[in-house]
Every structure is written in C-alpha cells, then in structure tokens.
Amino acid sequence: QVQLAESGGGLVQAGGSLRLSCAASGRTFSMYNMAWFRQAPGKVREFVALIRWNGVILYYPDSVKGRFTISRDNAKNTVYLQMNSLKPEDSAVYYCAASAKTVYGTGWYKEATYDYWGQGTQVTVSL
C-alpha cells in the first residue's frame, strides 16, 4: 500500500517556473515506477513523464521535452517535476501515480498501469 500527496502547484505567469513534489508513504518506494499525469478542464487525463525505479525516463507529450524534468530522491520518498518556461496550455491539475508493474511500449501511457494516485495539485499559468 502506498499513499501519495502532491504539493507545489499554484498560479504563475507565462515563462515562469514551478517545482511539483509528490511524497510517498510506502517503505518500498524505491521499487516503484513513478509518473506524472495532468488533466485540463474538458480534456482527458494525459501522461506527462515517467521515471522508473532504475532511473530510466520517458516523456510524453513531446511538448514538455526540454521544459520539464522528472527526478526522484529515494532517501526522501519523493518524486519531483520541475517545470520551466511555462505556457498557458500547461494549466491543469497535475497528478502523481505509482506502479509496481513492468510494462512495455505504450503501456506506460495508460492510467490502468498505475495502482496508486495522489489527489492532484492545481497549476494555473496566466498570460
């Protein structure tokens, strides 16, 4: 069992930066694959980034590459999403998710891959 809690969201001007954090309660955190998703009003929940237990990283969609960075600190049981050069279209509720599964290809983009979810943190980017 894992509990996840996101923090760090807020209101920021276009071009600014935010760092989101996701704190996990489980003692086996280092064994989990950790991902970020986001959901804007009226839109489907969208995969943003994955950092596997071994540090391998996958970003989706392409628009976040070069602007967002996912990382983890196993000693703190925390995963981060550093977001730079923010755009209004980045506005969404951001969720962290954890999975003990190993999947391949597009399986990592699927919500069903992930067993545990946080409650989300709101990010709003103004002009």
- If 0-12 CB within 10 Å is exposed, 13-18 middle and 19+ buried, where does residue 65 land? exposed
Categorize the per-residue pLDDT at 119 as very low, low, confident or very high, splitting at 50, 70 and 90: very high
The Cα–Cα gap between 62 and 111 comes to 18
- Beta carbons of 11 and 124 less than 8 angstroms apart: yes
What pLDDT digit, counting tens, does each position of 68-100 carry? Answer: 999 999 999 999 999 999 999 999 999 999 999
Length of the chain: 127
What is the predicted pLDDT for the residue at 87? 97
The Cα–Cα gap between 57 and 44 comes to 22
Run of H or E including 73: strand 68-73
What is the predicted pLDDT for the residue at 27? 79
Give the DSSP letter of residue 32. Answer: S
What pLDDT digit, counting tens, does each position of 4-53 carry? Answer: 999 999 999 999 999 999 999 977 888 999 999 999 999 999 999 999 99
